[in-house]
Amino acid sequence: MILTNDYIVPGQLLEFRDPFLFTDMHSHVGELCWYLRQSGVTCFSVRGKSARTVVDMFDEFIPALQFPSFCAKNWGAFDECLCDLASWIFLGNAIVIVMADADQAMIDDPDGAQLGYFVGAISEAAATYGVPDLTGPLCTQRAAIPFHIVLDFQDENGPERWKQAGAPLVPLDTAGLRQIISETEAESRRAMEDELAMLRLTQNDRQPWVPR
């Protein structure tokens, strides 16, 4: 099977646009991340259920995005590190954060303000990466790079809280990727069935052991 970029990477992730996309791939979020990385996308995977408060969010994002150990757990430091990934990571043709269980992200925030701060940080990062940065050392200079966050919701009402926080959510077109995953799973099932059938034949051909 030939995997083309048209199938592996939804075109929206390679465009300069509002960074907020959502999907309902659920158990296939891992495959989404794998295919993106195979296609040269810098992809980070985070869990909304591990980021129910703002402190939890910092604890989840700082190691997942490989922020420096000196990054403080506050919005100023978070914004600065999020916009400066090129200083410690070789960036690919796009930057994508995939958040599973986005319904639960900062859900324990009493007034909802923290989610709004997070939405603002993502928007600022998208604007920053949307223009080239030719300042500083050569190793940190970069071209403009698309930046997105893909939110996977378990609950159909999950997107509403993010919209209220200011995130202009757009559905991610994953039809081609779902087709690839479905075909791959079907091939794996056929291979397993063939292997089991061969094993049964081998067992049937064995002669019973007779003690002498």
Q: pLDDT tens, 43-76?
A: 999 999 999 999 999 999 999 999 998 899 999 9
Q: Which residue has the higher pLDDT, 73 or 29?
A: 73
CB–CB of 90/38 below 8 Å? Answer: no
How far apart (Å, rounded) are the C-alpha atoms in residues 175 and 184? Answer: 14
Q: Which residue has the higher pLDDT, 29 or 100?
A: 100
| Residue 5 predicted with pLDDT over 60 | no
| Residue 191 predicted with pLDDT over 70 | no
What amino acid occupies position 140? T
What amino acid occupies position 194? D
Question: What pLDDT is attached to residue 95?
Answer: 96
Kindly state the tokens that stand for 84.
């400066």
Q: Which residue has the higher pLDDT, 74 or 194?
A: 74
- Sheet bearing 42-47, strands edge to edge: 42-47, 95-100, 147-152, 20-23, 170-171
Q: Which residue has the higher pLDDT, 207 or 125?
A: 125
| Residue 102 predicted with pLDDT over 90 | yes
Residue 49, Cβ neighbours under 10 Å: how many? 16
Q: Which residue has the higher pLDDT, 208 or 151?
A: 151
Q: Whole-prediction pTM value? A: 0.81
